[in-house]
């Protein structure tokens, strides 16, 4: 059914259609509306046979989900930013134990300095935690990926994060086609656990493992993610048959075939990138783009097939590996190893800085003319950093950096772009 | 594409206004996208929200930089935020005020931008009369429908009724209708985009 609703509401309805049995809820901006809406769906009786548990922290949220999942329940939670960091130990445990929990991340920056706005540093910090990570470009895709995530998680016994850009998607009203309960029931069968805590047949889950077997357990976690690389396109195909629209975790190409410059990105920024690609093609440039939906497992081979003919690749990423540069671009470079294709990193959208068509246009134009630096910070205010660097060089007690800059710029978040 | 930017303060229903506008467009079978831009999350802080209309899927996620229409919910922002930034030459400006643009000291600006159609409606006052609280958002949408002609009043009323229920819905629809009628009298609705 076509609806004009908030992204968070759409995600909540999609999750409810998957019949979760335990939902652990702890609020944090910009994810809060998702669990609030799920709480409402449980309270009104639209979602039945589901325990909605208000917990005392994010650490508890995922720990309760782990316990629930180990008893054979379909478990769900959602978080963002510092919330994800606070549950970090449990994040590794959920995947290490092979528990197919689905968790939404309403992507948000990580402090300090504290910042409620969107970037993808939070989920990137957990990229090696053993969870599958899917990034949604639109709210329709967020809905479709959640439905596929439950299948993917349970078939492989691997937890899945569905990453949805905070505010940009979670708080956006746009049209979303929500499937019927019958459609989702036909696609998502009842959960059949590989392992279960049952007093009638007692087992241990979570044994201590020494050097004799730790590598093997870790290898099998990697093996399951490699299985996901073929299961993801299979599920996408099956999804299209069931629901009549294409959606899934494979890299999504846009005007890639004849492109000399290819842009790679994750999440909602791909929409703006596509508009800019259209403009640049109109101006005669051979340019295209690829949206990476599944970042873990990383679709290295598929990506190489899609972008391996380019003369240059530009990765637009909403996160920063301090001390080296790009996170996504490091993996893109690995996928292109030996191909001799330069990969440029453009760090953009940190802490909610708007990624505008105008800035993307000029940056991609520069890239096309081989005038872009290997690492660029989109719309970096050079005057601001130069003044702060001067303070650092001339005064020993130069004070806190964030506060120095704020004092210069005025109030928080009062600019339009 | 037709782009709207709404300025107001936290607690004035700025975000809801953009959401209702997007629902109204959806009810006319158009593609619409509404989203907020928060400053600090607190009552009284400047807040912006955006709404885009198009006949095809809207992929763009940047804030509305060059609005075809501006809705200003709170005139105390006029000298605090650069409200008119990027507004199109043939755009619309709708201001919540009992005063005229001239009385608000905006003569110089509008004289320099003669293509812009500007209108003030006493939306807070209308909301006080009809709803009992000075929340100007729904009333302004009625004025917006009349000023721009981009959306029908019936769609705005249906969107308000979808967002709210019971007396809150009906009283907000009444406030919107009153603003719509004031705006129709004051101007001839015409659709345009830049």
The CATH number that applies at residue B100 is: 3.40.920.10
User: From the CA of B181, how many Å to the nearest CA of chain A?
Assistant: 27
Q: Using the 8-state DSSP alphabet, how is residue B42 labeled?
A: S
A175/B85 CB distance under 8 A: no
Q: What span, in angstroms and rounded, lies between the C-alpha atoms of B8 and B6?
A: 7
Q: Does residue B17 belong to any structural domain of this protein? A: yes
Chain A residues touching residue B27 (CB < 8 angstroms):
4
The span from the CA of B147 to the CA of B151, in Å, is 10
Q: Are residues A106 and A7 in the same domain?
A: yes
Q: End of a domain among A243, A274, A308?
A: A243
**Domain final residue, candidates A243, A262, A295:** A243
User: Cβ of A171 and B26 within 8 Å?
Assistant: no
Q: What's the average model confidence in pLDDT over B128-143? A: 97
Q: How many domains does chain B have?
A: 1
Residues A54 and A200 in one domain: yes
Number of A–B residue contacts, CB under 8 Å: 85
Structure-token pair, residue B193 = 């985009």
Min Cα distance B121 → chain A (Å) is 25
In a domain, B194, yes or no: no
Do A398 and A319 share a structural domain? no
Would residue B191 count as lying in a domain? no
Q: In this structure, what token pair is assigned to residue A216?
A: 């093997």
Instruction: Give the integer Cα–Cα distance in Å for A8 and A395.
Output: 47
Q: Of the candidates A243, A274, A299, which is a domain's last residue? A: A243
pLDDT at B79: 80
Q: List the single residue in B18, B59, B63 with the smallest CB-CB distance to A417.
A: B63
pLDDT at res. B193: 41
The whole-model pTM stands at 0.96
What are the CA-CA distances from residue A82 to residues A31, A79, A90, A91, A314 (Å)? 12, 9, 14, 13, 29
CB pair distance less than 8 Å for B36 and A171: yes
Residue A295 tokens, joined: 């970042």
pLDDT of residue A377: 98
Residues B53-79: what's their mean pLDDT?
A: 96
C-alpha A339/C-alpha A307 separation (Å) is 10
Alpha-carbon torsion, ordered A62, A63, A68, A72, to 10 deg: 90
Say how far apart CA B25 and CA B64 lie, in whole Å: 17
As for how many domains chain A has, the answer is 3
What pLDDT score does B38 carry?
73
Q: Label residue B192 by pLDDT band (50, 70, 90).
A: very low
Q: Do residues A36 and A175 both lie within one domain?
A: yes
Peptide bond into A342 cis (omega under 30): no
Do A268 and B61 make contact, defined as CB atoms within 8 angstroms? yes
Considering the domain architecture, whether residues A129 and A59 belong to the same structural domain is answered as: yes
Least confident of A14-23, A178-187, B33-42, B63-72: B33-42
Are B35 and A172 an interchain contact pair (Cβ–Cβ within 8 Å)? yes
Q: ipTM of this complex > 0.90?
A: yes
pLDDT band of residue B41 (cuts 50, 70, 90) is low
The whole-number pLDDT of residue A163 equals 98
Q: Work out the pLDDT band at B187, boundaries 50, 70, 90.
A: confident
| Structural domain that includes position A108 | 2-243
Closest-CA distance, A371 to chain B, in angstroms, reads 25
| A266 lies in the same domain as A218 | no
Interchain pair B60, A167: CB under 8 A: no
Whole-number pLDDT of residue A417:
62
Over residues B12-32, the mean pLDDT reads 97
Checking if the pLDDT of B43 tops 90, the result is no
Residues of A in contact with B4 (CB under 8 A): none
Mean pLDDT, rounded, of chain B: 93
At residue B122, the pLDDT reads 98
Are residue A83 and residue A207 in the same domain, yes or no? yes
A288 vs B39 pLDDT, higher one: A288
Backbone angles phi, psi at A271, to 5 degrees: -60, -50
- A249 to chain B, closest Cα gap in Å: 19
The rounded distance, in Å, linking the Cα atoms of A270 and A282 is 18
Q: What is the pLDDT of residue B191?
A: 46
Q: How far is B32 from chain A (nearest CA, A)?
A: 6
Residue ranges making up the domain that contains B48 = 2-186
Judgement on whether residues A282 and A340 belong to the same structural domain of the protein: yes
What gap in Å lies between CA A317 and CA A327, rounded to an integer? 8
Report the CATH number at residue A337.
3.40.50.920
Residues of A in contact with B34 (CB under 8 A): 172-174
Q: CA distances (Å), A307 to each of A48, A226, A332, B99, B182, in order?
A: 46, 21, 10, 59, 57
Picking from B62, B79, B82 by the largest number of A CB atoms within 10 A of its own CB, the best residue to mutate is B62
Weakly modelled stretches of chain A, pLDDT under 70:
411-417
Cβ contacts (< 8 Å) between A28 and chain B: which residues? Answer: none
Model confidence at B194, pLDDT cuts 50, 70, 90, reads very low
User: Residue B133 — left, alpha, or beta (φ > 0 → left; ψ -120 to 50 → alpha)?
Assistant: beta
Q: What is the pLDDT of residue A412?
A: 60
**In a shared domain, residues A31 and A93:** yes
A222 plus A96 within the same structural domain: yes
């Amino acid at each position: 059914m076509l609806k004009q609703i908030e992204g968070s509401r759409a995600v909540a309805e999609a999750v409810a259609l998957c019949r979760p049995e335990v939902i652990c809820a702890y609020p944090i901006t910009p994810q809060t509306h998702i669990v609030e809406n799920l709480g409402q769906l449980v309270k009104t009786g639209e979602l039945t046979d589901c325990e909605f548990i208000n917990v005392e922290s994010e650490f508890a949220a995922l720990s309760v989900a782990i316990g629930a999942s180990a008893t054979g329940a379909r478990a769900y939670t959602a978080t963002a930013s510092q919330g994800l960091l606070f549950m970090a130990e449990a994040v590794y445990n959920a995947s290490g134990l092979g528990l197919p929990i689905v968790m939404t991340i309403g992507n948000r920056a990580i402090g300090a300095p504290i910042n409620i706005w969107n970037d993808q540093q939070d989920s990137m910090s957990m990229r090696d935690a053993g969870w599958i990570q899917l990034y949604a470009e639109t709210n329709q895709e967020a809905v479709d990926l959640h439905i596929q995530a439950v299948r993917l998680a349970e078939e492989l016994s691997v937890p899945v994060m569905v990453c949805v850009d905070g505010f940009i998607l979670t708080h956006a009203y746009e049209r979303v086609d929500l499937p019927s309960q019958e459609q989702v029931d036909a696609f998502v069968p009842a959960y059949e656990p590989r392992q279960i805590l049952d007093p009638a047949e007692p087992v241990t889950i979570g044994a201590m493992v020494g050097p004799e077997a730790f590598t093997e357990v870790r290898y099998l976690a990697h093996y399951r993610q490699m299985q996901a690389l073929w299961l993801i396109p299979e599920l996408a195909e099956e999804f299209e048959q069931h629901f009549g629209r294409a959606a899934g975790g494979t890299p999504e190409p846009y005007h890639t075939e004849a492109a000399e410059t290819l842009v790679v990105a994750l999440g909602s920024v791909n929409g703006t990138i596509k508009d800019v690609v259209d403009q640049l093609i109109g101006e005669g440039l051979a340019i295209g783009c690829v949206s990476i939906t599944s970042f873990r497992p990383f679709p290295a081979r598929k990506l190489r097939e899609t972008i391996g003919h380019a003369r240059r690749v530009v990765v637009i990423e909403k996160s920063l590996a301090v001390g080296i540069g790009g996170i996504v671009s490091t993996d893109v470079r690995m996928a292109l190893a030996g191909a001799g294709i330069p990969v440029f990193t453009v760090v953009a959208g940190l802490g909610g800085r708007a990624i505008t068509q105008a800035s993307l246009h000029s940056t991609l134009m520069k890239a096309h003319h081989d005038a872009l630096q290997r690492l660029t910070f989109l719309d970096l205010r050079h005057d601001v950093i130069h003044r702060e660097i001067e303070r650092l060089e001339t005064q020993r007690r130069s004070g806190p950096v964030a506060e120095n800059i704020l004092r210069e710029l005025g109030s928080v978040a009062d600019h339009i772009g | 594409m037709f782009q709207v930017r709404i300025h107001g303060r936290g607690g004035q229903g700025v975000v809801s206004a953009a959401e209702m506008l997007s629902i109204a467009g959806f009810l006319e079978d158009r593609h619409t996208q509404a989203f907020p831009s928060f400053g600090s999350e607190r009552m009284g802080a400047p807040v912006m929200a955006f709404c885009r209309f198009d006949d095809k899927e809207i992929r763009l996620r940047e804030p509305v930089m060059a609005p075809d229409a501006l809705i200003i919910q709170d005139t105390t922002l006029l000298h605090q935020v650069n409200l008119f930034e990027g507004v199109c030459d043939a755009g619309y400006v709708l201001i919540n005020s009992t005063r005229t643009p001239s009385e608000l000291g905006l003569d110089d600006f509008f004289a320099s931008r003669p293509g812009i159609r500007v209108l003030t409606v006493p939306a807070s006052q209308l909301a006080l009369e009809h709803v009992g609280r000075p929340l100007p958002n729904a009333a302004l949408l009625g004025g917006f429908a009349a000023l721009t002609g981009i959306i029908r009043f019936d769609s705005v009323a249906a969107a308000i009724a979808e967002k709210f229920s019971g007396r809150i819905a009906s009283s907000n629809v009444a406030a919107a209708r009153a603003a719509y009628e004031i705006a129709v009298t004051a101007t001839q609705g015409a659709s345009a985009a830049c």
